[in-house]
A and B are shown apart, each in its own frame.
Chain A
Amino acid sequence: MFFRALFAALMRRNRSLAMLALTMALGVSLATAMLNVMFDMGDKINQELKAYGANLTVMPKTSSILADLYNAGDTKANQYLPYDDVFRVKEIFWAHNIVDFAPFLDTNITIGSEDVPLIGTWFARHIDLPTGDSVDAGIVGLKSWWSVSGRLPDDNNSEVALGKRLANKLDLNIGAQLGDLLIVGIIDSGDSDSDKAFAPIEIVGKLTNNVGRISYISVSALTTPENELSRRAATDPRSLTTTEWDTWYCTAYISAIAYQLEEVLPQARVKQVMQVSQSEGAILSKIQLLMLLLTILSLLCSVLGISNLVTANVLERSTELALLKALGANDFQVSMAVFVEVLSATFAGGLVGYGLGLIFAQIVGQSVFGMWTEPKLVVIPLVVAMTLVVTLFGSLPASKMILKLHPAEVLHGR
């Protein structure tokens, strides 16, 4: 009979219940959109920030020590990594988080009386890894902010791109030769790269007798924002307990990725480009906090809306509810009858709201990040829990009214 009465109420009192469903749908749609974007945006923001360069530098241990000692920030110390090491970057646990990487060979050549810094690297290279995967890597992705006149060199040809200041200094332009190399592009990087020349690493190796050598590897990895645990681990991983170590190792902290790179490259030291990763963490945390606040605000509005509607509903039905008490229903039974009815309506609204929220999430993803927002499964139980909690809190004032309903007062005006 309970479900028969519930079904009858849902079918025949659909106007007031539709208002409840609509209120919940609006709240849930906003919450769904915010949560999906919030969970998905970590990756999106990371990818956005990757446009500002690599966040890890792999260099020979000796170079690293010299750079640290003299605070040079310059890795040229005539120490090299073997060329094959570059492929091992994708062998770590977090290989899929490494979105781009490229080897660099720092050399100098003399053109006339000028000493020209010539950097060997990958531009846009397709690599088939021993694991069976394939990957596109190179400075096209790593230095996406470069403004290039002409084009970047082809990885298989004897071509070079000059930094803008270097080109001006040497008075060379596209189509001219830099030694044996054809100039195909002029790079405006806005930093010290404008003073350098860039050519395919194999060509530079041959020209400078450094075949099979790498000065350093730049790596761009998707990371989880840093926290206290990751900062402690970065200082000394051995200070962590076993559980903390497991948590840290299995989370994509920049320090964990650096640690794992050092595991596969024992002769290398991995340095974090802290400014970028820290900015990532700060921006991401703030935007996620904003999203969370919006979600909470939308749920609070839903609670208020549901509360008003359920209270009005109970006032409107006070005679009916008093009658149930007169027939022998206790307070719990009457409250449950109303609550389950309201919950059915709000769950229907929640379902519609979830669908709408997915659409809103796509709109936000497209308009803000220019990407589709991937629906996150974790949002579904959260939406169910939110619907339940919002309905419960929204029904509380009405439940108090139900407890105070006396059949004699309502049915006989006493």
Chain B
Amino acid sequence: MNMLELKGVSVLYGSDVQALYNVNLEVKAGQWLAIMGPSGSGKTTMMNIIGCMAKPTSGSVILDGQDTSKGSEADLTAVRRDKIGLIFQQFHLVSYLTALENVMLAQYYHSMVGEAEAFAALERVGLGARVHHLPSQLSGGEQQRVCIARALINYPKLILADEPTGNLDETNEDLVMDIFKHLHSTGSTLVVVTHSPEVASYADRMAVLEHGRVVEVTDPPPFEHKGSRRRRSIYG
């Protein structure tokens, strides 16, 4: 069963900038898809379209059986809230809220706030001892893990990550990839936009974008993973 399906998706900015051109793509439930491509290839635009933060100029986007390309702003907001967990390269945590409160914020806009559940989500990403710290008191890797805990707290159908390790050192990159692998093993559907061949290598499939077109959908090339051998996984 397809969790995500893009059919003939095109995005035109203004009258002459074609960010995506007739993109067709399928992601099955439980699959991990990496989207790769050089700068300006349309990766961010594709992430915005998949993440319901923008609508295509033409074509359709089917997420969990719902066509999001025809929805209103309110419909897209509801889909983001109910079905998507967003992970950003820049983390985007609310600076005056603690790690715990940042996770609870996503709960608040989704449904019910449960402090114990938010605490457990942070423990699952190895931050049980840092829940009451502000983002400024956390390292980049820790902030990214708070961002992941926030994305996962509402049990989204699709986890959408934009360069999740782009601002992290090797050790923190390993920690984050550990979490992604664990999510994948538990059946989560992941779409990860990345520049990194190492990050892409963990995926089931890889879509390569060039000039707004999907030029290749293939198995990721093999990669020698060094980082994960250096440290112990937070999942044991």
CB-contacts of A312-330 with B (<8 A) = 319-320, 323-330
Stretch at the interface among B101-109, B207-215, B219-227: B101-109
* Contact indicator per residue, chain A 295-324, by CB within 8 Å of chain B (1) or not (0): 000000000000000000000000110011
Contact B92 A319 (CB under 8 A): yes
Determine the residue in chain A with the shortest Cβ distance to B54: A408
Residue B77 contacts which of A4, A319, A328, A411 (CB distance < 8 angstroms)?
A: A328
Chain B residues with CB under 8 Å of A5's CB are: 94, 97, 101, 105, 108
- Asked whether A2 is an interface residue with its Cβ less than 8 Å from the other chain, the reply is yes
* Contact indicator per residue, chain A 378-414, by CB within 8 Å of chain B (1) or not (0): 0000000000000000000000000000111001111
Contact A330 B96 (CB under 8 A): no
Query: With A12-B96, A320-B94 in contact, is A327–B109 under 8 Å at CB?
Result: yes
Contact B80 A328 (CB under 8 A): yes
Chain A residues with CB under 8 Å of B110's CB are: 327-328
Residue B101 contacts which of A4, A319, A328, A333 (CB distance < 8 angstroms)?
A: A4
Residue A328 contacts which of B48, B78, B95, B113 (CB distance < 8 angstroms)?
A: B78
Contact A327 B74 (CB under 8 A): no
Summed over the interface, the residue pairs from A and B with CB atoms below 8 Å come to a total of 81
Instruction: Report B134 CB to chain A, min CB distance, Å.
Output: 8
Per the bound structure, the CA–CA distance linking A324 and B150 in Å amounts to 12
Chain A residues with CB under 8 Å of B53's CB are: 326, 406-408, 411-412
Contact A333 B109 (CB under 8 A): yes
Instruction: Report B11 CB to chain A, min CB distance, Å.
Output: 9
Chain A residues with CB under 8 Å of B77's CB are: 325, 328-330
Instruction: Report B125 CB to chain A, min CB distance, Å.
Output: 17
- Asked whether A1 is an interface residue with its Cβ less than 8 Å from the other chain, the reply is yes
**Residue of A11, A324, A406, A411 with most partner-chain B CB within 10 A:** A411
Determine the residue in chain A with the shortest Cβ distance to B49: A408
Contact B92 A328 (CB under 8 A): no
Chain B residues with CB under 8 Å of A326's CB are: 51, 53, 80, 86, 92
- Chain A interface category by residue count: 20 to 34
- Asked whether B47 is an interface residue with its Cβ less than 8 Å from the other chain, the reply is yes
CB-contacts of A269-300 with B (<8 A) = none
Instruction: Report B164 CB to chain A, min CB distance, Å.
Output: 14
Chain B residues with CB under 8 Å of A9's CB are: 96
Residue B74 contacts which of A330, A406, A408 (CB distance < 8 angstroms)?
A: A330
Per the bound structure, the CA–CA distance linking A13 and B74 in Å amounts to 30
Determine the residue in chain A with the shortest Cβ distance to B108: A1
- Asked whether A8 is an interface residue with its Cβ less than 8 Å from the other chain, the reply is yes
**Residue of A11, A323, A413 with most partner-chain B CB within 10 A:** A323
Contact B96 A327 (CB under 8 A): no
Instruction: Report B85 CB to chain A, min CB distance, Å.
Output: 10
Contact A8 B96 (CB under 8 A): yes
Per the bound structure, the CA–CA distance linking A12 and B48 in Å amounts to 32
Instruction: Report B91 CB to chain A, min CB distance, Å.
Output: 10
Chain B residues with CB under 8 Å of A407's CB are: 53
Chain B residues with CB under 8 Å of A408's CB are: 48, 51, 53-54
Chain B residues with CB under 8 Å of A1's CB are: 101, 104-105, 107-108, 113
Residue A323 contacts which of B47, B94, B101, B162 (CB distance < 8 angstroms)?
A: B94
Determine the residue in chain B with the shortest Cβ distance to A414: B48
Per the bound structure, the CA–CA distance linking A319 and B95 in Å amounts to 11
Per the bound structure, the CA–CA distance linking A31 and B120 in Å amounts to 52
Determine the residue in chain B with the shortest Cβ distance to A328: B81
Residue B96 contacts which of A13, A328, A414 (CB distance < 8 angstroms)?
A: A13
Chain B residues with CB under 8 Å of A412's CB are: 44, 47-48, 53, 162
- Asked whether B82 is an interface residue with its Cβ less than 8 Å from the other chain, the reply is yes
Contact A320 B109 (CB under 8 A): no
**Residue of A320, A324, A412 with most partner-chain B CB within 10 A:** A412
Per the bound structure, the CA–CA distance linking A249 and B45 in Å amounts to 76
Chain A residues with CB under 8 Å of B51's CB are: 326, 408
Chain A residues with CB under 8 Å of B21's CB are: none
* Contact indicator per residue, chain B 130-173, by CB within 8 Å of chain A (1) or not (0): 00001000000000000000100000000000100000000000
Per the bound structure, the CA–CA distance linking A408 and B81 in Å amounts to 15
Supply 8 A–B pairs (Cβ within 8 Å), ascending by A: A4-B101, A5-B97, A5-B101, A320-B94, A330-B74, A411-B90, A412-B44, A412-B162
Interface residues, chain A, with chain B CB atoms under 8 Å away: 1-2, 4-5, 8-9, 11-13, 319-320, 323-330, 333, 406-408, 411-414
Interface residues, chain B, with chain A CB atoms under 8 Å away: 13, 44-45, 47-48, 51, 53-54, 74, 77-78, 80-82, 86, 88, 90, 92, 94-98, 101, 104-110, 113, 134, 150, 162
The 5 closest A-B pairs by CB, nearest first: A328-B81, A1-B108, A12-B96, A408-B53, A408-B48
Given A327-B81, A329-B109, list of 12 further CB < 8 A pairs? A4-B104, A5-B97, A320-B95, A323-B94, A326-B53, A327-B110, A328-B77, A328-B78, A328-B109, A411-B53, A412-B162, A413-B44
